[in-house]
Every structure is written in C-alpha cells, then in structure tokens.
C-alpha cells in the first residue's frame, strides 16, 4: 500500500459564450444570463468571426487570423461548456457536441419558456442563502445594495455588463423579484447627475453578489487600470468583460460620462501614484489607461486632457488591448485567468500500487438544493499527486479540454472528465455522491491516447526492459542506484559473462562502492540493487567431475547438484564448505539486468526518464506520466520506435499549470557515433506527426565523446526544430541533448551544472529555468551542439530578413 494526495476545489461551472461582437441583442442577453449564474461574472465571452474586422488592431497589423483569435480565447479560458448565441456557430471548434449548449440549456427553460433543470447553478439559490444567513438581520455595518437602471435605453447593455441585469423573459422574472426581496436594493437611475456617485464607494450589485463567497486567485499583479470605452458598443463591452475577468484592477470609464468622471479619474491616478512596496529604487506605481478599440486615436488628446494630473509618470496610455488569445512565449512570464474556488479540501488516500483505486466524496456548494434539477450544477477541480515513489500511476494527461480522449477513470460522470491546466475537472450531478476511480499506469493511458488517435502502439523489446528496470528498482528513486557509469558497466559486464553472469559478493560490493564518491550513497546503492532484486544472491559451486563452476540460488542448494555443463551429478562439498576453491558466495544479475548490451539500452532510457522526472522536473516543479519504448504505427502506416514517451506538465505553486507537453526520446548507451541519420529522421517524423513535441537525444557518454558527425546531425535537426510553426504558434520541436553529465547527475540538474562549473556555470542564472523544457533545449544546444543562444539566433534571422527586404 502507498498514498496518493488529492486536492479538491469547488467552483462554478465555467461557460464560454460564443457570439459575434456586433450582435447587440445576444451580447446584452449574455450579460443578463451571467447575472443569474453563480460566478457568472467570470464566464468569458468569445468573439466569433470568419475574418478579423478592420477595428481589431488599431495599427492595422494582422498578427493573427480569425481562427487563431477564436481558438486562442478558448485555450486561454478553457470553458467547461460552450454556449452558442446562434445555433451551429461553434460547430468547427472541436468541442464534444454534448457540451455545446444553447441559451435555454443554461437558463433552465423548455421550449414553452418554463423553468426546468439545466446546466449550471443559478444565483437564485445563493440569494436565499445570503438572505437567511446575513441580510435578514440588522447589521452593525450594513452593506448597501443597489440596482442601477438606465434612462437612456442605449445604455442598458452597459449597465448589465457593469452592475448586472436581469432577463426580460416573463418566465425568468423571478430572478429580479428574488433579488429585490432578499436585498432591498436602492434604485439608482443612471444619468450625468448620478454616475459619479457610483464610483469610489463599495456597493453590492446583482453581478457582484453572484460571486459571493468565492475566492478569486489572480495570477499576478497589474497596474491600476482605467478602461475607457464606448458604452454603446457591444465589442467594447465584450473587451471590458473579459479584461475584468482576468485582471483585478479594472475600472470602467464610459466615454459618454468622461467629463462627469474626470475628478474621480484624477483622484484615482493620484492616490495610486506611490512607491512600489519593497522596491529599493523608489519606483512609483503608475496607472494604465486603456483606450478601447472603437475609440479613434483622434480622441486620445481629449481623453488625456480630461484625466491628466500634474505628476510625472503617474499615468501611461495603452493603445492596444491585451492579446489574451495569443499564446505567450515559453520564455516569458505569462498572464493567466484567475483560479476560482468556493472550497478546498486535501485528502490523503491509501492505494494498492498494483491496482490503484481511489474513493472520495466531491465537494458541493452548501447553498445548493440537495436534489435540485439540472444535469450538471457545479464543478470539482481535482489534482492528483503521486507520493507512492513507484512512479507507476498516470497523473498527467494532455490538456485537451474540448474533446478529451483520456483519462477514463470510470465513476459517475466519468465521460465528463476534462484535463486542463488547473487540474482534472469533473461535474458531480448531486450532493454526497461517492466517486470511485480506477487509476491506470502511464503506459496504459498513453497507449489508449494513441489508440483514440488511430495510432497503433506496441511496447518494444527495449521498452519492456526499461519498464522492468524501473519497476524492479521501485521507481525513479531506485533508478538513482544506476546513476553511476561504473555501476552500469559492472552490471553489463556481469550480463555478458557466458555462464554464471555473476560476481563474488565482496567484489561486487567493493566495485559498487568504488564507483560512488558519496559515502552515504555507497551503501544505499548497493543495498538497493540487492534488496530490489537487480542481483540475486547464490553460491557458485565447482563440479567435481568436469571442473566447471555452477550457479545455485539459495533455493536451489542441495546435497546433490546437477552440473550445468557436463549434466552429471556431483556432491556438494559439505566437508569443506568454506573452501573458496570449491564454493563461493556471489551475486548474479537477473531479470532485465541479465540482458546484454546494457539491458538492450534500458539503462539509458530509464536514466533519461528519471533525469527529466526528478532532476529537471523535481517533485514540485513538474509532473510526468511515462511509458517506456513503443513501436508506433502512424496513420501513414509507417512503424516508428521511440525509446521513451512522456507527458510532462510544469507546475505553478499558485494559479494554473502549464499545458502538458509530449516528449519522445532516443536513448543510447556508450556506443561511438551512436546517433545515426536514421535516428534523427525517425525523431523528425514524430515531430511532424505531433507538432510542438519535445525531442530528447540521450547518451551515457560524456559530451567530449560525441562525434562531429553526431553533432552535425543533431544540430541540423535542432535548427529545424527552432523554426516557428505559424499554424500552431510555437516552435516546431525543441531538441534536448542529455549526456552522461545529466544521466548520472546525483541531484537537481541546475545544482549539478553549477558544481561542474566552466561552461555549465552560465546556466546558473535566474533567466534559465531548466524545468522549462524550451530553456533546457536552448541550454543543451549551446553546451553540446555549439549553437548560439536562441535569442541571438532569432535576432540574426530577423536581421537577415530585413536585409533581404531592403
């Protein structure tokens, strides 16, 4: 038995509303729907178009296509369900059709406009909870709740976007009625005389109350922001809605009331102009003024004159909208949507490592009805951390939130299990319903994923050896006992012996100890190899008939022994059991360790997986699911072998993890000129089949032993892999080179390189985070292939293009 750690987080279901940005009617309806949903303020609105409109970029540049923008928004927000403003508008977005909804599915209406069960949890249940526990009592410091109404109908959508608005359908008027009865809001008619009163004070509004008791964890700090926009433009309202869902500091400033809000804006800028806490240089905070895309540049000076203050660098204008849809570079800090949670629980669950199965009760909102209508009413986000040390259980999966192929754990609602950057998202139907999940190993999950993508995968002979090595040694921690070149050579030397494949017990122990410099690791590595059955203790006995030596395990010892060479019986030397010329205790390699050629390359592959998992990713930097060598039959019908395959996901302590990356590995032992043209071509084919895949070439040799031909081959592939893939908005295939320095490293890679010094010391820098595989690729290409830094290489390419154009 061993333990898994589960982290459960309860949050509202996240809907992504897909709408054309000029569709005023449906945009208004979206604001009103979200007012009535628990956590609706954080549901993204995905602008949809076939071609980018002219107003999309003020400068006129077209850095993105319409498809990239729409899909980029989806990837940024990872919605649980898609809601179409028009039937069929999302048909080409790749979503499981069961998770593509219409407005009526969310608003709990049937075709006769009557309330029925739907998807999502309405704020009406929250109103009842808040009234029962808070608002029915006289409070010492009561919160003032307001309901803003417009005099000008053109501003109805603006009010719904900023303060909330209720559906106009007769069947749904109970929302507005319930809001008024629960909170007795003050009615404010919006016009030029009242708009300034809404700023600078904390009011409860229908939209704000809809996310009561939710903890919003923003991904990072941003400057105080004034967002100036046209309150009558639906595209501006969509932009502000999405901006507010991501950034904590966002003050809406409708240009229609800019003059009335001038004093508030000046005061806001002045109050925020203060030294940044902890900054030793006295750098001041400045307020960012974002001007929406619909406002012409000719109006900028007028806007500046209305809100400018007499303070140096207190305000900066941002003429562009943050490209939330654009995939950030792997080499810069990224902004993500905030994580939202109503409750969190951590569980420590004992599992049978051979048949891991977990049982747990999902979280549910305390205010929800126990048997309320609806198919799915809330979401649980689940993270699984494998602390079993055996490293068998798959805990990382491709972040395909649209139509996932894996995982399939079984249990209630198992078909709706979404692997995302925040964890595994599931949708419990009811309260207090126990989940029972059967957890697969990495090979099973990876092969199932290949199968779903119509790729046949079969464990190779070398892959079986790698798998058995890791399993025999009890996981990657046990593989560390092999992380010494002379230990690996000793085991291979024993495996190549023609008969006994053994070594005298004291000689074996002495050679293991001599191979390891760390005093603590000497005994640990020896005991690990012996206790985990990499070697087996037995007795070598000399045949009295032919003089050959025979191996006998402890279980095989008897008074009469059959000679393995002459096949005759001979007596055990019972009168001289201590005579070393007649019998001697020895260790013999068994199982995968008895295979020749460094366990058919299994040592190198096992050490490579251990390097990426433990020395690069570490226990808190990344998580992997792994499979040893597979022979893949691609859609072209061509079989291709990869020595190991990994799913690798970088972690963040706070916020969202990074999307999962797939790694293909080519592992070599100590052979000279081992990386051939066919090896490089095979890995390139895999990169073309799986765009963006990480390619790892690993060898137990030191870098000085790489031949010029190998370096030339790998460098050519690495340069191809550095090229930008416009379609997928990423580099083609980062190439990582691992040598004996990395495979035999005793601890974290960055520390190992620092201790080694010389050319390795340059990577002991905050700008190199080696758990980022793109940074690791850049570093190893510089170290072992003589390539320039990626930034220098890229700048050189740009300069060359400029010269050609000029």
Q: Is 160 contained in some domain?
A: no
User: What torsion, rounded to 10 degrees, do the Cα atoms 740, 743, 744, 748 define?
Assistant: 130
For position 259, what pLDDT does the model report? 95
140 pLDDT tier (thresholds 50, 70, 90): low
For position 158, what pLDDT does the model report? 97
Q: Is 455 contained in some domain?
A: no
Q: H helices of 556-617, where?
A: 596-600, 602-610
pLDDT tens digits for range 413-466: 556 899 999 999 999 878 888 889 999 999 999 999 999 999 999 999 999 999
Round to whole Å and give the CA distance between 227 and 254: 8
The total of structural domains in the chain comes to: 4
Which is nearest to 794 in space by CA: 682, 761, 781?
Answer: 781
pLDDT tens digits for range 106-138: 866 544 444 445 788 888 888 888 878 877 765
Q: Is 103 contained in some domain?
A: no
For position 222, what pLDDT does the model report? 79
279 pLDDT tier (thresholds 50, 70, 90): low
pLDDT tens digits for range 704-756: 999 999 999 999 999 999 998 888 888 999 999 999 999 999 988 988 999 99
DSSP character at residue 700: S
260 pLDDT tier (thresholds 50, 70, 90): very high
Q: Is 215 contained in some domain?
A: no
Cα R_g (the chain), whole angstroms: 32
- The angle formed by the CA atoms of residues 513, 517 and 523, to the nearest 5 degrees, is 40
Q: Are residues 780 and 685 in the same domain?
A: yes
Q: Is 59 contained in some domain?
A: no
Percent of the chain predicted with pLDDT > 90: 66
Round to whole Å and give the CA distance between 593 and 17: 57
Average pLDDT of the chain to the nearest whole number: 90
Which is nearest to 225 in space by CA: 256, 255, 269?
Answer: 269
Residue 53 CB-half CA count within 13 A: 11
Question: Of 308, 335, 362, which residue constitutes the final position of a domain?
Answer: 335
Q: Are residues 517 and 583 in the same domain?
A: yes
Q: Are residues 607 and 499 in the same domain?
A: no
Question: Could you give the 3-state DSSP secondary structure of residue 434?
Answer: coil
Q: Give 87-92's long-range contacts (Cβ < 8 A, gap of 24+).
A: 89/18, 89/19, 89/20, 89/48, 90/18, 90/48
Q: Are residues 591 and 625 in the same domain?
A: no
Q: Are residues 343 and 321 in the same domain?
A: no
Given a cut of 80, whether residue 387 has pLDDT beyond it is no
For position 383, what pLDDT does the model report? 93
Phi and psi, residue 376, nearest 5°? -135, 125
For position 62, what pLDDT does the model report? 72
Q: Are residues 296 and 230 in the same domain?
A: yes
For position 111, what pLDDT does the model report? 44
Question: Of 272, 307, 335, which residue constitutes the final position of a domain?
Answer: 335
DSSP character at residue 441: B
Q: Are residues 227 and 292 in the same domain?
A: yes
Q: Are residues 319 and 356 in the same domain?
A: no
pLDDT tens digits for range 141-166: 667 899 999 999 999 999 999 999 99
Q: Are residues 387 and 515 in the same domain?
A: no
Token pair of 521 as six digits: 């690791």
Q: Are residues 484 and 575 in the same domain?
A: yes
Give the residue with greater pLDDT, 412 vs 38. 38
Token pair of 226 as six digits: 């004034």
Are 644 and 626 in contact by the 8 Å Cβ rule? The answer is yes
DSSP 367-392: TS-TT-SSSB--EEEEEEEE-SSS--
Q: H helices of 194-233, where?
A: 206-209
Given a cut of 70, whether residue 661 has pLDDT beyond it is yes
Q: Are residues 364 and 409 in the same domain?
A: yes
Domain extent at residue 507: 479-597
CATH number (domain holding residue 238): 3.40.50
pLDDT tens digits for range 483-500: 999 999 999 999 998 767
Token pair of 204 as six digits: 């409860």
Q: Is 469 contained in some domain?
A: no
B/e letters for 177-192, b = 16+ CB within 10 Å, e = fewer, are ebbbebbebeebebee
pLDDT tens digits for range 528-548: 999 999 999 999 899 999 988
Count, in order, helices (H) and strands (E) of the chain.
25, 33
Neighbours of 673 (CB within 10 A): 13
Token pair of 328 as six digits: 């950030």
Q: Is 302 contained in some domain?
A: yes
Percent of the chain predicted with pLDDT > 70: 94
For position 454, what pLDDT does the model report? 93
For position 116, what pLDDT does the model report? 45
Q: Are residues 722 and 605 in the same domain?
A: yes
For position 553, what pLDDT does the model report? 86
Q: Is 384 contained in some domain?
A: yes
Rounded to 10°, the helix 485-495/505-515 angle is 150
Question: Of 450, 465, 494, which residue constitutes the final position of a domain?
Answer: 450
């Amino acid at each position: 038995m061993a333990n898994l750690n589960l982290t459960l987080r309860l949050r509202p279901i996240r809907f992504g509303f897909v709408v054309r940005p000029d569709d005023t009617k449906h945009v208004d309806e979206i604001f009103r729907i979200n007012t009535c949903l628990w956590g609706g303020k954080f549901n993204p609105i995905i602008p949809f178009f076939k071609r980018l409109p002219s107003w999309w970029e003020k400068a006129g540049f077209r850095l993105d296509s319409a498809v990239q923008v729409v899909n980029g928004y989806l990837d940024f927000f990872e919605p649980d369900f898609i809601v179409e403003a028009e039937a069929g508008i999302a048909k080409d977005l790749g979503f499981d059709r069961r998770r593509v909804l219409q407005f009526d599915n969310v608003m709990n209406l049937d075709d006769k406009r009557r309330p029925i069960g739907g998807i999502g949890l309405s704020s009406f249940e929250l109103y009842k909870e808040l009234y029962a526990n808070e608002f029915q009592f006289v409070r010492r410091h009561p919160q003032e709740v307001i309901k803003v109404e417009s005099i000008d109908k053109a501003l109805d959508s603006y009010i719904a976007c900023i303060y909330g608005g209720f559906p106009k359908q007769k069947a749904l008027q109970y929302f507005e009625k319930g809001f008024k009865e629960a909170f007795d809001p003050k009615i404010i008619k919006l016009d030029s005389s009242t708009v300034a009163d809404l700023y600078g004070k904390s009011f409860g509004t229908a939209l704000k109350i809809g996310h009561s008791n939710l903890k919003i964890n923003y991904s990072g700090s941003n400057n105080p922001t004034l967002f100036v926009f046209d309150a009558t433009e639906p595209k501006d309202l969509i932009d502000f809605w999405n901006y507010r869902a991501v950034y904590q500091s966002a003050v809406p400033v409708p240009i229609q009331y800019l003059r009335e809000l001038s004093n508030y804006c000046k005061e806001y800028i002045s109050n925020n102009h203060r030294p940044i806490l902890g900054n030793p240089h006295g750098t001041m905070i400045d307020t960012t003024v974002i001007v929406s895309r619909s406002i012409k540049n000719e109006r900028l000076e007028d806007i500046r004159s209305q809100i400018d203050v007499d303070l140096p660098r207190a305000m900066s204008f941002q003429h562009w909208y943050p490209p939330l849809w654009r995939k950030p570079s792997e080499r810069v800090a990224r902004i993500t949507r905030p994580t939202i949670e109503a409750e969190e629980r951590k569980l420590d669950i004992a599992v049978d490592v051979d048949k891991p199965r977990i049982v747990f009760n999902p979280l549910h909102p305390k205010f929800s009805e126990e048997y309320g209508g609806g198919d799915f009413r809330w979401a649980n986000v689940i993270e699984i951390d494998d602390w079993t040390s055996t490293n068998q259980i798959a805990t990382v999966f491709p972040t395909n939130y649209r139509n996932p192929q894996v995982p399939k754990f079984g249990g209630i609602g198992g078909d709706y299990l979404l692997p995302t950057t925040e964890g595994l998202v599931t949708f419990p139907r009811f309260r207090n319903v126990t989940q029972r999940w059967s957890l697969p190993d990495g090979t099973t999950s990876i092969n199932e994923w290949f199968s779903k993508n119509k790729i046949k995968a079969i464990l190779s002979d070398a892959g079986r050896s790698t798998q058995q090595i890791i399993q025999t040694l009890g996981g990657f921690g046990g593989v560390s006992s092999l992380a010494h070149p002379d230990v690996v050579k000793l085991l291979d030397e024993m495996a190549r012996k023609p008969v006994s494949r053994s070594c005298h017990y004291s000689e074996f122990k002495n050679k293991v100890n001599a191979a390891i410099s760390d005093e603590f690791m000497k005994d640990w590595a020896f005991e690990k190899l012996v206790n985990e059955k990499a070697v087996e203790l037995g007795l070598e006995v000399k045949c009295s008939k032919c003089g050959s030596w025979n191996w006998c395990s402890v279980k095989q010892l008897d008074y009469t022994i059959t000679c393995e060479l002459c096949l005759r019986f001979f007596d055990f030397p019972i009168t001289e059991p201590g005579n070393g010329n007649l019998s001697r205790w020895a260790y013999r390699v068994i199982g995968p360790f008895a295979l020749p050629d460094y366990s058919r390359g299994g040592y190198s592959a096992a050490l490579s997986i251990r390097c990426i998992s433990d020395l690069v990713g570490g226990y808190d930097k990344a998580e992997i699911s792994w499979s040893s060598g597979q022979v893949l039959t691609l859609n072209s019908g061509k079989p291709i072998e990869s020595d190991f395959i990994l799913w690798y996901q970088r972690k963040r302590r706070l916020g969202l993890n990074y999307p999962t990356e797939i790694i293909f590995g080519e592992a070599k032992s100590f052979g000279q000129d081992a990386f051939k043209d066919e090896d490089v071509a095979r890995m390139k084919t895999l990169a073309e089949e799986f765009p963006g895949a990480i390619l790892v070439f690993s060898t137990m040799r030191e870098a000085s032993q790489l031949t010029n031909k190998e370096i030339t081959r790998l460098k050519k592939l690495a340069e191809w892999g550095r090229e930008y893939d416009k379609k997928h908005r990423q580099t083609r295939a980062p190439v990582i080179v691992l040598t004996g320095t990395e495979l035999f490293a005793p601890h974290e890679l960055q520390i190992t390189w620092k201790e080694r010094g010389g050319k390795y010391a340059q990577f002991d820098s905050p700008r190199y985070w080696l758990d980022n595989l793109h940074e690791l690729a850049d570093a190893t290409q510089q170290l072992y292939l003589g390539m320039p830094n990626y930034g220098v290489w890229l700048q050189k390419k740009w300069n060359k293009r400029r010269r050609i154009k000029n």
